[in-house]
């Protein structure tokens, strides 16, 4: 069963991580837009800002994405959780799509392979921040913990393994169990 931790102790760290990513993207967009302001909107020249290739279109897009990430991290209250999860998907898919379009005329955002790698890293970091960024009331956190650990605070048993232990009668595998007629099984070999 899928499980997202609620009120994870590392949540403040992941929130700061997402804010740092948003700040980097925002600053990159501003620097990229300033450096490419006089160029055509979808220019495909050799224009670099903060280690990534850019053009005015990518600069404006980065300013918007950085502002959304930074705003979500600042606001909190599960908004950052959903923004980080959605942002992770956007960055992972964008990195993959732009990698397929690198040496074509459809590379409108002037991506280079380093842009794709950074997009993948940002997507993974946002996914991590989104998965551990969920908040909720203490009752919900306790219910999630009980679901994860069982009633007594121990790890919940795997239902498949419990079924195998019942089949053999001794906790072994079903293959080691004796047939119901009492005859012993011979091993192939």
Averaged pLDDT in 10-residue chunks for the chain of 189 residues: 78 96 98 96 94 96 98 94 97 97 95 97 97 89 80 57 51 51 56
User: Domain locations in the chain?
Assistant: 11-136, 140-175
pLDDT at 1: 37
Q: How many CB atoms lie within 10 A of CB 84?
A: 27
pLDDT at 33: 96
pLDDT at 64: 98
Q: How many CB atoms lie within 10 A of CB 128?
A: 16
Look at residue 3 and give its three-state secondary structure: coil
Q: How many CB atoms lie within 10 A of CB 32?
A: 27
- The 8-class DSSP code of residue 170 comes to S
pLDDT at 187: 56
pLDDT at 62: 98
pLDDT at 140: 84
Helical H segments across 36-78, by residue range: 56-75
């Amino acid at each position: 069963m899928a499980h997202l931790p609620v009120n994870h102790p590392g949540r403040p760290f992941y929130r700061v991580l997402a804010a740092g990513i948003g700040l980097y993207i925002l600053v990159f967009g501003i620097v990229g837009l300033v450096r490419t302001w006089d160029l055509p909107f979808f220019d495909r020249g050799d224009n670099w800002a903060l280690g990534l290739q850019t053009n005015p279109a990518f600069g404006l897009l980065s300013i918007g994405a950085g502002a959304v990430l930074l705003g979500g991290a600042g606001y909190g209250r599960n908004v950052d959780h959903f923004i980080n999860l959605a942002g992770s998907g956007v960055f992972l898919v964008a990195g993959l799509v732009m990698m397929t379009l690198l040496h074509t005329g459809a590379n409108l955002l002037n991506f280079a392979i380093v842009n794709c790698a950074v997009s993948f890293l940002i997507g993974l970091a946002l996914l991590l921040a989104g998965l551990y960024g969920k908040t909720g009331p203490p009752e919900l956190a306790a219910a999630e913990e009980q679901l994860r650990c069982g009633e007594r605070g121990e790890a919940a048993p795997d239902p498949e393994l419990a079924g195998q232990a019942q089949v053999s009668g001794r906790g072994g595998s079903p293959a080691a169990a004796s047939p119901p007629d009492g005859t012993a099984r011979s091993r192939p070999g």
